[in-house]
């Protein structure tokens, strides 16, 4: 009998220890805000947006009060879907969707958890909204990385005044890239410049399409495109030897393969998104009424190395990319 009692006491102690250990491990997130971050792919612009977001949240909530779960979508929509579904299953308090495919995946995964997008160019296009007027509604809001496309078209003409043909190089899988090149194409054609679309499906056919564009065009424009941003070396290795200048939609791409850009700060964009998260989580702001926020300034910049290689003199009013 004593042996049985001893065994029962030992089992009781073991169970108590297990529960105690479970309680201790749960203390790391208990009472803290849980934020899931799905970033489409690692490149300079998206990395900066994520860091800006995290810093704003920490500044507003305190580092001790928030837990971030940062996941990389590997530039794959299906992977993004898996990630955000995991966030939903773990009942995070808010989801940051960094780039359009991440936003689309998050929107499909939940209609309840607040979703903030960032590095998304046009929310109406990304989410298939008709008559989009600046507020998504429901559980979605965020920030846009859209720089004025008419001014980017003007940049092409300013930097490449002798260009008669411009190739618009972009990934056809990215809805917001299609939107940007369509707008720029119309603006160029209004100035009697031949603008031709050169869509590629992924990094596997980028070199082939880029080579065709460089052979047929006097200049190339690339929008804020995540696949381009991840593969600027391919474009640079093709265009620089052929002396074909590239105008880019954002600074990270320009530093890799372009000569000039009208760029925003993705860190600042992420920071603005983080402040929106604080308003939702701490202040109880209604996300359904929060309009999409835009960068408050764009900075004209140039790539000194590429300008030198192509024998192009930088225009006044442009700052060198540091």
How do residues 33-61 score in pLDDT, each as one tens digit?
999 999 999 999 999 999 999 999 999 99
3-state SS assignment for residue 52 = helix
Q: Taking a C-beta distance cutoff of 8 angstroms, is the pair 188, 195 a contact?
A: yes
Same domain (yes/no): 257, 304: yes
Encoded tokens for 105:
């995946």
Is the pLDDT at 260 greater than 80, yes or no? yes
Residue 6 confidence (pLDDT): 44
Determine, yes or no, domain membership for 26.
no
Residue 122 included in any domain: yes
Same domain, 188 and 249: yes
Residues facing residue 36 across a β-bridge: 69, 95
Question: If pLDDT is split at 50, 70 and 90, which confidence band does 10 have?
Answer: very low
180 is written with which tokens? 């940007």
Q: Are 108 and 126 in contact (CB under 8 A)?
A: no
pLDDT for the residue 259: 98
Give the DSSP H or E segment for 84: helix 77-89
Per-residue pLDDT band for 1 (boundaries 50, 70, 90) equals very low
Following DSSP, what letter does each residue of 201-251 receive, concatenated?
A: SSHHHHHHHHHHHHHH-SEEEE-S-HHHHHTHHHHHHHHTTTT--EEESSH
**30 contacts 83 by C-beta, under 8 angstroms:** no
The pLDDT assigned to 147 comes to 86
Other C-beta atoms closer than 10 Å to the C-beta of 270 total 29
Give the percent of the chain with pLDDT over 70: 91
Give the ranges where the chain is alpha helix by DSSP (H): 2-26, 44-61, 77-89, 100-109, 123-126, 149-159, 175-189, 203-216, 226-230, 232-239, 251-257, 266-281, 304-310
Provide, rounded to the nearest whole percent, the portion of the chain with pLDDT above 90: 86
User: Are 117 and 259 part of one and the same domain?
Assistant: no
For 145-172, the pLDDT digits (tens) are 988 999 999 999 999 999 999 999 999 9
- The whole domain housing 237 covers 149-263+299-320
Instruction: Answer whether residue 13 shows pLDDT above 50.
Output: no
State whether 269 and 255 are in the same domain: no
**Number of structural domains found in the chain:** 2
pLDDT digits (tens, 9 = 90+) for 240-257: 999 999 999 999 999 999
- What is the CATH classification number for the domain harbouring 172? 3.40.50.2300
pLDDT band at 29 (very low <50, low <70, confident <90, very high): low
pLDDT one-digit tens code per residue, 122-148: 999 999 999 899 999 999 999 999 889
- Please provide the DSSP assignment of 300-316 as one string: EEE-HHHHHHHT-PPPT
Token pair recorded at residue 28: 């790391």
């Amino acid at each position: 009998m004593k042996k049985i009692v001893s065994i029962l006491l030992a089992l009781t102690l073991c169970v108590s220890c297990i529960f105690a250990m479970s309680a201790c491990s749960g203390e790391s997130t208990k009472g803290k805000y849980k934020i899931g971050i799905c970033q489409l792919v690692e490149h300079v612009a998206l990395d900066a947006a994520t860091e800006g977001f995290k810093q704003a949240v920490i500044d507003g909530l305190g580092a001790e009060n928030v837990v971030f779960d940062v996941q990389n979508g590997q530039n794959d929509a299906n992977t993004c879907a898996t990630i955000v579904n995991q966030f939903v299953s773990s009942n995070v308090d808010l989801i940051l969707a960094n780039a359009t495919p991440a936003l689309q995946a998050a929107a499909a995964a939940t209609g309840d958890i607040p979703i903030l997008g960032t590095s998304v160019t046009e929310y109406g296009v990304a989410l298939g909204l008709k008559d989009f007027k600046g507020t998504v509604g429901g559980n979605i809001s965020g920030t846009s990385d859209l720089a004025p496309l008419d001014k980017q078209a003007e940049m092409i003409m300013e930097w490449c005044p002798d260009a008669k043909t411009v190739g618009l190089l972009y990934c056809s899988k990215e809805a917001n890239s299609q939107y940007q090149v369509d707008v720029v194409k119309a603006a160029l054609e209004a100035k009697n410049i031949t603008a031709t679309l050169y869509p590629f499906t992924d990094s596997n056919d980028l070199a082939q399409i880029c080579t065709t564009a460089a052979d047929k065009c006097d200049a190339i424009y690339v929008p804020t495109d995540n696949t381009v941003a991840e593969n600027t070396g391919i474009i640079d290795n093709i265009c620089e030897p052929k002396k074909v200048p590239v105008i880019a939609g954002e600074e990270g791409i320009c530093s890799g393969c372009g000569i000039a850009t009208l760029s925003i700060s993705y860190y600042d964009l992420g920071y603005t998104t983080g402040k929106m998260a604080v308003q939702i989580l701490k202040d109880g702001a209604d996300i359904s009424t929060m309009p999409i926020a835009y960068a408050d300034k764009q900075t004209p910049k140039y790539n000194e190395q590429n300008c030198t290689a192509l024998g192009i003199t930088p225009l006044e009013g442009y700052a060198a990319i540091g």
